[in-house]
Amino acid sequence: EVVLTQSPATLSLSPGDGATLSCRASQSVSRYLAWYQQKPGQAPRLLIYDASYRATGIPARFSGSGSGTDFTLTISSLEPEDFAVYYCQQRSNWPPITFGQGTRLEIK
């Protein structure tokens, strides 16, 4: 099973700041990695698929990069609505599909 480790667990930033979230896989997942945003009481929303492609309707301030075992989600300038929990997910060596444990992005 591929274990995805996200860091940091919590990131405290202010609106307008840039954010960098990390996801590390226990073995190579090529580029088969996605990122999601989840707000309280809501379902996850797909942000990035296949490591670097923005999903439909996702603002350009969200970008993804990486391949193999190291991936990054970057938010260029935080808007108030971006404060949420972010998860990465792989489907390279599956089943099982696995998720990271999440990074909470909170307002400083």
Partner 1 sequence: EVQLVESGGSLIQPGGSLRLSCAASGFTVSSNYMSWVRQAPGKGLEWVSVIYSGGSTYYADSVKGRFTISRDNSKNTLYLQMSSLRAEDTAVYYCARWDGYNTGFDYWGQGTLVTVSS
Residue numbers of the site for partner 1 (CB under 8 A)?
31-34, 36, 38, 42-46, 48-51, 53, 55-56, 87, 89-91, 94-102
Rounded Cα–Cα distance for residues 58 and 2 (Å): 27
Angle 98-32-40 from CA coordinates, rounded to 5°: 50
Mapped to the 3 state alphabet, what secondary structure does 41-74 carry?
Answer: CCCCEEEEECCCEECCCCCCCEEEEEECCEEEEE
Closest contact distance (angstroms) between CB of 15 and partner 1 is 25
Distance in Å, CB of 85 to partner 1, minimum: 8
Contact criterion met (CB below 8 Å) for 104 and 38 = no
- How far apart are CB 102 and partner 1 at their closest, in Å? 5
Residue 22 or 38 with smaller CB distance to partner 1 = 38
Q: Which is nearer to partner 1, 17 or 52 (CB)?
A: 52
Q: Which is nearer to partner 1, 13 or 58 (CB)?
A: 58
